[in-house]
Structure 1
Amino acid sequence: MSSTQRYLLDTYRAARLGDPAPPAPGTHDTRVLRELRTYRRFRAVLAGRPAHGRLRRAAAAITGATRRRHTQARSTC
């Protein structure tokens, strides 16, 4: 049974019993991912490691590439 079918069945049962409808599948996915990221950062700090990782390095690489492009464009003018 898929999550959509399960949701529809739960919604039907809630309507028959007069209970509030359950949240739709995927409603809280973003919040769960943010809480997981926060938890992993917290555990890293407790372990004595820096609280940043791949995302910060990727952002630095993109920013560095952008800066290099701008400096090259200025030097040719």
Structure 2
Amino acid sequence: MSITQQYLLDSHRAHRHGETPPPAPGTHDWQVVRELRDSWELRTDLTGRPERGRLRRAVRRWLGPMRRPIG
């Protein structure tokens, strides 16, 4: 069963029971990415280790405009 089929089934079931429908797939993807980035930053700050590696630098460049100062 695909994600779309599961979403449609859950929406139909919620409608029949008079409940609110679930959020559409992909609705909160950017929020999850931001939370992962924030936890990553917090972990590196707490351990006192600098970030390193090509992948981390590439992700940091890509997410750079979305960063917000801590504190």
Same fold (TM over 0.5): yes
Runs of at least 5 residues in structure 1 that lack an aligned partner in the other structure? 60-77
Report the structure, 1 or 2, having the larger helix content.
1
Larger radius of gyration: 1
Match of 1:64 in 2: none
Identity of aligned residues (%): 56
The letter of the residue matching 1:9 is L
1:1-77, aligned counterparts within 5 Å? 1-50=1-50, 53-54=56-57, 55-56=60-61
**Equivalenced residues, count:** 57
For 2:11 and 2:25, the matched residues in 1 are separated by: 12
- TM-score scaled to structure 1, two decimals? 0.66
Q: Provide Cα deviations, 1:18-53, integer angstroms capped at 9, x if missing partner.
A: 000100000000000000000000000111023685
